[in-house]
Amino acid sequence: MLFNSLDFAIFLPIVFLLYWALADRGLRTQNLLLLAASYYFYACWDWRFLFLLLFSTLLDYVSGLRIASARTAWTKRAWFWTSIGVNLGFLGLFKYYDFFIVSFIEMLSVVGIRAHAPTLGIILPVGISFYTFHGLSYVIDVYKDRIRPERGLVDYALFVSFFPLLVAGPIERATHLLPQLKRARTFDPVKAVDGLRQILWGLFKKIVIADQCAKVVDVLFDQYEIHGGASLFLGALFFAFQIYGDFSGYSDIAIGTARLFGVELLRNFAYPYFSRDIAEFWRRWHISLSSWFRDYLYIPLGGSKGTLWSRVRNTFIVFLVSGLWHGANWTFVVWGALNAIYFLPLLLTDRNRTNLDTVAQGRTLPSMRELLAMGGTFGLTLIAWVFFRADNVRHATGYLARMFSNPASYFDHARYAPHLLLLTGIAVLLVAEWRAREQRHALEAFGLRWARPVRWSFYGALAVTVLLFSGGEETFIYFQF
């Protein structure tokens, strides 16, 4: 079920009430309830893939125990690589088999060899990329002796399947989430209210911004050949906010929902479009994924240590794999490569960690330099997003070529008029998030000094706006990953 659906609006209060009503019965009962609710949540998508989730959970649970209890290094490695292999095998089968087969055949045809191999046409299980990475991080951490294996099956299963993060993250770490699931949780009304505010803001970003941008983006990307540069620039701009609103909105809803149950999830977005360079962007965008790749791929490869060649190689590997993680299409590979190209100069000149603070910290407005830096970084990501959205590489290059043609059209105000309302919505989003850039979400401290009736009126108006923009459900983009 979608977060922005009537089904979820009924599901969540029921689970919430039952959860806290069972607090007196102990932690295990609460966790069992959450686990059952999480499996029900997942089964609503497709009950058949629940078995895959259960299998992956059991495999990693058993692997963790066997790795920790292994008497020989060989046994330890065997269990480790079995878990890694099976998990990545399933991910590869469901997500990448058809892509690689088709690409291989196309490559053969370029050299004049005609081949035919059956594609499987398998449905992609929702959330497989996310829960697979949950399990992988756990097994790797156990193997590396960073954590002790979890003996409670219910607790471990809940770590993998906790419904707020099950289908689109954040990608949690066992070291962060498991201890919370093993601790008694008490109801904190302040956190719960803030969780509700975060849910409201997430719904605003998803329904009012992302879904409205999607309508324009679909038309412009599908018919880019007949639109001019300014219109296509708007299409790219709207997609940048569609994917941000969609994904960060989902994360806000997930984090806010978890807080209702006394669980704190990892932060996933930290206002990435206010980044002053691409390195800062990747510290603020999909933080749980980029940190996962940093800790489990980049650093084991050697990270930024070693020769120039190894640093370049490691950077490209991480970004290309990250691109491929997003989808089985060469456009994602190109997107990853572009980001690697953007990142490398900063890495090689040791300027990848220069903007660690919040932009314009303690000030109301950015300096001109900061503004230009943010604009430049946003522009680079905008170009890369075109590849992310396009159907194929040719589509993306054609789109970009037309986008940069006819620069005079950019000054034609008539092109922007039909999209004035949407541009206003994006401006509201940017202003709200700029004001809150030192907080976790835009509504965390918004209006707290106002009188309650005024504050409630604002929240109420925002909620009614979200409801008015609802209808005609659109899925979250990251569900396809």
Partner 1 sequence: MKRFLLMTVSFCVIVVAGFLLLLSRADGHTDAFYLRFTTPRQPHLIVGTSRAGQGLRPAVLREELGIDLFNYGFTLGQSPYGAAYFESIRRKLDPATRNGVFIVTVDPWCLASTRNVGEDTTRFRELSNIVGTTRWVNVSPNLEYLVENLTGRYYTVLERGDGELYLHADGWLEVTVPMDTATVLGRRARRLATYRDDYIPIYIRSEVREMALQRTIQLLKAHGHVYMVRLPVDTAMYALEQAHFPAFDGTMERIARQTDGYWDMSPLNAEFRYNDGNHLNKEAAREVSHRVGQWIHQQEQERR
Q: Which residues are the active-site residues?
A: 326
Does residue number 458 form part of the binding site for partner 1 (CB under 8 A)? Answer: no
Stretch that binds partner 1, among 120-128, 169-177, 186-194, 234-242 (CB under 8 A): 186-194
DSSP 43-92: HTT-GGGHHHHHHHHHHHHHHHHHHHH-SSHHHHHHHHHHHHHHHHHHHI
CA distances from 130 to 58, 165, 173, 316 (A): 16, 8, 11, 22
Does residue number 404 form part of the binding site for partner 1 (CB under 8 A)? Answer: no
Does residue number 204 form part of the binding site for partner 1 (CB under 8 A)? Answer: no
Q: How far is the CB of 239 from partner 1 (least distance, A)?
A: 19
Does residue number 472 form part of the binding site for partner 1 (CB under 8 A)? Answer: yes
Angle (CA) 56-57-58 rounded to 5° is 95
Structure tokens at 361: 């910290």
- Which of 469, 476, 478, 481 is close enough to bind partner 1 by CB under 8 A? 469
* Residue whose token pair is 């991080």: 137
Does residue number 301 form part of the binding site for partner 1 (CB under 8 A)? Answer: no
Structure tokens at 135: 């399990």
Does residue number 193 form part of the binding site for partner 1 (CB under 8 A)? Answer: yes
Residue 151 neighbours by CB distance under 10 Å? 11
CB of 23 or CB of 101, closer to partner 1: 23
Does residue number 310 form part of the binding site for partner 1 (CB under 8 A)? Answer: no
Q: How far is the CB of 256 from partner 1 (least distance, A)?
A: 13
CB of 19 or CB of 298, closer to partner 1: 19
Give me the long-range contacts of 270-274 (CB less than 8 A, separation at least 24).
Answer: 271/433, 271/434, 271/437, 272/244, 273/240, 273/244, 273/374, 273/378, 273/381, 273/430, 274/358, 274/359, 274/374, 274/433, 274/434, 274/437
With contacts defined by CB under 8 A, how many residues of the chain interact with partner 1? 18
Does residue number 450 form part of the binding site for partner 1 (CB under 8 A)? Answer: no
Does residue number 456 form part of the binding site for partner 1 (CB under 8 A)? Answer: yes
- Which of 85, 464, 475, 480 is close enough to bind partner 1 by CB under 8 A? 464
- Which of 378, 416, 458, 459 is close enough to bind partner 1 by CB under 8 A? 459
Q: How far is the CB of 196 from partner 1 (least distance, A)?
A: 7
Does residue number 121 form part of the binding site for partner 1 (CB under 8 A)? Answer: no
Q: From 193, 201, 128, select the one nearest 441 (Cα to Cα).
A: 201
Q: Is 268 helix (H, G, I), strand (E, B) or coil?
A: coil
The whole-angstrom separation of Cα 180 and Cα 229 is 51
* Residue whose token pair is 């081949």: 115
Stretch that binds partner 1, among 31-39, 301-309, 328-336, 469-477 (CB under 8 A): 469-477
- Which of 52, 378, 470, 479 is close enough to bind partner 1 by CB under 8 A? 470
Binding site for partner 1 (CB under 8 A): 6, 20, 187, 189, 192-193, 196, 456, 459-460, 463-464, 467-472
